[in-house]
Amino acid sequence: MDGNGRWAVQRGLARVDGHRKGADAVRETIAGAIACEVRYLTLYAFSTENWKRPRSEIEVLMSLMVRHVHSEMEALAEQNVRVTFIGERAQLPSEVSEGMEMLEDRTSSNDGLQVIVGLNYSGRSELAWAFRQLLRDAIEGRIDPSDLDESALDQRLMTAGVPDPDLVIRTGGEHRISNFLLWQIAYSELYFTSILWPDFTRQDFQNAIAAYTCRRRRFGGIDA
Ligand code: FPP
């Protein structure tokens, strides 16, 4: 969800105003995903590298998360959306982690769109986390190192049970992955758009899906 800061600066506003508008774009994208019958939508809200930002910006982002959890919870539950979070929770302010747990609990029995929010998440830290679980399981005899295959790692990722993404959308005009789901996107289709995240609408989401449906995926094989 890139481009919040630039969106605000272009309008003579503070960067945090871009994040506030960006939170509205989250609602739009969820509506687009429901309309397109998408099963899983992962939103990268705060990376492990985002702690390098000014303290005041981090505080606004954290309070936006808390406010959004409370203001959106009933609407999400009514839309049959299930929300889960990936990322390391221990470092997050307690009101954020409590809000996350509350939203997960409130929506846990929903079986419509699953929204996965990356908060204090990065692909590399997730892999290190999964390797720690694997090592512990090997040392304590729950897995034989010779049985360690791709699925053993998959099962220990924060996204365990969630299929790999078919499509990755990056807004804001940058052409990079920025530590997002590094293991899971091995064969994902990539879609880059210069639209800044706060301007991203449900129609833009639907356009990305339409572009995806024209792609031919071979997963390293050849066309049939
Ligand atoms: C990147 O834009 C955006 C972020 C680091 C924050 C994303 C967070 C939200 C949209 C807020 C709410 C989220 C949820 C799930 C409720 P940037 O600041 O790097 O933009 P720039 O590249 O233009 O500076």
pLDDT tens-digit profile of 47-96?
999 999 999 999 999 999 999 999 999 999 999 999 999 999 999 999 99
> Angle, to 10 degrees, between the axis of helix 55-78 and the axis of helix 94-107?
20
45 lines ligand 1 (CB under 6 A): yes
Buried b (16+ CB within 10 A) or exposed e, 162-199: beebbbbbbbbeeeeeebbbebbbeebbebebebbbbb
Q: What percent of the chain has pLDDT over 70?
A: 100
List the beta bridge partners of residue 119.
Answer: 46
Indicate the top mutation candidate among 81, 120, 197 to test ligand 1's pocket, ranked by most ligand atoms within 8 A of CB. Answer: 197
Does residue 151 sit within a domain? no
Mean pLDDT over each residue of the chain, to the nearest integer: 97
Expressed as residue numbers, the domain containing 55 is 4-122+164-212
Indicate the top mutation candidate among 7, 16, 17, 19 to test ligand 1's pocket, ranked by most ligand atoms within 8 A of CB. Answer: 19
Distance 65 CA to ligand 1 centre (A): 11
Does residue 84 sit within a domain? yes
Does residue 149 sit within a domain? no
Q: Is the distance from CB of 89 to CB of 122 less than 8 angstroms?
A: no
Return the pLDDT at 19.
97
33 lines ligand 1 (CB under 6 A): no
Q: Is the distance from CB of 41 to CB of 33 less than 8 angstroms?
A: yes
Does residue 30 sit within a domain? yes
Does residue 146 sit within a domain? no
Does residue 34 sit within a domain? yes
Does residue 128 sit within a domain? no
Q: What is the mean pLDDT of residues 91-120?
A: 98
State pLDDT tens for residues 171-188: 999 999 999 999 999 999
Q: Is the distance from CB of 180 to CB of 118 less than 8 angstroms?
A: yes
Give how many domains the chain has, as a whole number: 1
pLDDT band (50, 70, 90) for residue 223 = confident
> Is the predicted pLDDT of residue 117 greater than 80, yes or no?
yes
> Is the predicted pLDDT of residue 224 greater than 80, yes or no?
no
103 lines ligand 1 (CB under 6 A): no
Return the pLDDT at 34.
97
Q: Looking at residue 202, which CATH number applies to its domain? A: 3.40.1180.10
> Is the predicted pLDDT of residue 44 greater than 80, yes or no?
yes
30 lines ligand 1 (CB under 6 A): no
In the chain, % helix, strand, coil (3-state, to 5) comes to 50, 15, 40
pTM, two decimals, is: 0.96
Rounded distance between C-alpha atoms, residue 37 and residue 84, angstroms: 18
